[in-house]
Structure 1
Amino acid sequence: MPAYDLPPLHLPAQTRRPPDVAVVVRYRKAVTYGMHALLGALEANPPEVAHEVWLGRTAAETAELVRTALDAGATRVLVPWSFYSPDAEAMAAELAEVRAAVDDPRVVHVAGGVHATAEPQQILDAGWDLAAIGEGEATFVSLVAALGRGEPLTGVPGLALRDTDGTALRTGTSVRGPLDDTPSFALGLHRFGPIEITRGCIYSCR
């Protein structure tokens, strides 16, 4: 499961068929630790669907990677975003840029992190397809699996998605597993951060 910093020109030789899910991360320095934890969870508990991880360091590069993944035959493309509240407006503008460049129903944009947890309705209103609420490791792995299998996303705990009336429909509480179940880095992808020794705020951002 290679990670690409730049758009590949073709599907890697070791991949015998296009991936079920291409994960195109909007990779930002401000939130690399959290992204590394998600990628580490995906690496430690890989779902039984063909998937690859690509990293986009700008909105333009992210859009190009999404387009490349679709052209390479990916069945679905998952674009995870993460940001703090002060960055929400700027990230919404980037999301609009990516959507304007690649408007395809096979692409799913999900926002996670503290802002998405606190304001899932705002996330959906700003244009994301999904908001990830709470700890995201298990949610992220389950989301990749559900997309690859074509299963309803309402069965993935820890998400909010738009209901028929536009309000945020929550899919249940995210799974909060033991910290030792997943690393805080993705060894196979060469994405490293500090080894986290605490879970975070005991008040769960209340």
Structure 2
Amino acid sequence: MVGDVAVIIYYDQRAKYSIHALTAAIDPLKNVDVYLVEKKSGFLEFARNISGKYRKCIIGLSIQTIMLADDPYLDFIIKLNKHKGKCISIAGGPHPSGDPIGTVKSLGFDYAFIGESEKTIQDFVYAVINGDDLLNVKGLFTIVDDKPVYTGKQKPIRLDDYPPFPYWRPLFNPIEISRGCPYGCKYCQVSYMHGFFMRHRSIDNIVEYTGCMVEKNIRDIRFISPDSLAYGLKTMSREPRLDLIEELLSRLYKKYVERKGARIFYGSFPSEVRPEHLTRDAARILRKYVANKNIILGAQTGSDRLLKLIGRKHSIEDVYNAVENAVKYGFIPNVDYIIGLPGETRDDLYETIRSIKKLVSMGARIHLHVFLPLPGSPYAWMPPGKVPSWVRKELMKLIGAGKAYGQWIHQEKLALKIDMLRRRGIIMPRIKAGSMQRPVSTHLHYSVPP
């Protein structure tokens, strides 16, 4: 018996949260079977075998830019798209959203999905089933007759309308409670992929899906958010909605911590906290309910000049205050710093090292990063981040003392690899002589040709 549509997804552990969300959106559709394939070896053979049992076949990948620095993975993608047979190949995630041209032209995908994709993938699958024109589906980019085609922006979804994971499989991950970011930091993809207005999953919905996890004996409950203390906010504000945050945490605590022995992790990985939101009252509320000892704070640099330049919209004094509040209530603040940001001067680096030493003396640990020029961010075309030798010596002293950690040395190599992929035309290629892709994908103005 021949089925309607098979959707075959490469189940890459590096992108599993996104894959879970998309699987949860596709699984309920009629006449569609979803296959998650974990290994690259044998993927093409599996796809060929499965595609023969269905009228239509879709191969899907979720891609982050740093994944393309993995040579075997890049080779796998290019080979996959050359030998995919009758299957339609699609790619979504941060990289296709920021570099749709490279995703189609260089990597060989038929369509790049721009922005969040739950609604887009549902519309796309239905269009494939019904034989409709795929260019009527919002949120797609492709190339037709050597011309770029962007079908228009998909309407933002309500998080409550989509499960955070396919619990029926059962596959689980931290619950995404907020999406979007109003700050638009120039090095970051989030605002440009998910929008400048925050959307939030309702408290009832969060409590419900936490129950799905606890029923499967998952006792450590974590959350995904660009800023967990911005829950309930829609736009920029220095005043967190502590009433909503406490309502959320208290309901989870009473229902699942007291009765089921669960633990709540909030303000730690995989989310962070903006420093101006970690007020004394916020720290006090967190201490009442959460199990995490660490709180992740984003500082990024110790220079107020550079903070303003990159669009952070807070000061280094805000970071000092947040660390003081965290320590007062028994948390260990882990403070993110990025070295090698565009426009960073020697004076900025002196300010950064000075601020790091002060934070360490206050009880913080420093999480070190190196700037990566990510497609989809305003800094997509900037040079790769580099750590000067004198800064490297200072950082190594901190690491040796157990006061700093991170993958910054590896990220410095990643930044160079991303730059090399740009120069090779794998990332953000010119679509025709003299043209240059705009870095912010949400501002694409390509339209469907008449």
How does the TM-score come out when normalised to structure 2?
0.39
Deviation at 1:182, TM superposition (A): 0.2
Task: State the 1:193 CA deviation.
Answer: 1.1
Residue of structure 2 equivalent to 1:78: 58
- Whether 2:76 is the aligned partner of 1:94: answer yes
Identity over aligned residues, as a percent? 28
Q: Kindly provide the CA deviation profile for residues 86-109 of structure 1, in whole angstroms up to 9, marking residues without a partner as x.
A: 113544421223245x442x2011
Q: Which has the higher contact order (CA 8 A, sep 6+)?
A: 1
The 10-residue stretch of structure 1 (89-98 or 27-36) with the greater mean CA deviation from structure 2: 89-98
TM-superposition CA deviations, 1:44-69 (whole Å, max 9, x none) = 5x2x4x11011111223321221121
CA drift at 1:175: 2.7
Structure 1 residue 149 corresponds to structure 2 residue 130: yes
Question: Any residues of structure 2 matched to 1:108-147 within 5 Å, and which?
Answer: 108-125=88-105, 126-147=107-128
Does structure 2 retain, via aligned residues, the 8 Å contact 1:120–1:168?
Answer: no
In the alignment, residue 204 of structure 1 is paired with which amino acid? Answer: Y
Does the 8 Å CA contact 1:38/1:140 hold for their aligned counterparts? Answer: yes
1:139–1:175 Cα contact (<8 Å) kept = no
Q: Is 1:199 matched with 2:179?
A: yes
- TM superposition score normalised by structure 1: 0.82
Hey, what does 1:42 align to over in structure 2? 26
2:48·2:84 contact (CA, 8 Å) conserved in 1?
no
1:179 to 144, 147, 159: 159
Task: Kindly indicate whether the alpha-carbon contact (under 8 Å) linking 1:60 and 1:98 is maintained by their aligned counterparts in 2.
Answer: no
Distance (whole Å) between structure 2 residues aligned to residue 52 and residue 195 of structure 1: 24
Corresponding position of 2:204? none
SS of the equivalent of 1:204 reads: helix
The match for 2:401 is none
Tell me which residue corresponds to 1:53.
Answer: 34
- Large movers: runs of 4+ above 4 Å: none
**Cα separation, 2, equivalents of 1:175 and 1:20:** 27
SS in 1 for 2:176: coil
Cα RMSD (Å): 1.8
Q: Please, which runs of 5 or more residues in structure 2 have no aligned partner? A: 183-190, 194-376, 378-450
- Distance change >3 Å, CA 75–CA 37, structure 1 → 2: same
After superposition, the Cα gap between the structure-2 partners of 1:168 and 1:88, relative to the gap in structure 1 and judged at 3 Å, is farther
2:16 matches 1:32: yes
Instruction: Give ranges in structure 1 of 5+ residues lacking alignment.
Output: 1-16
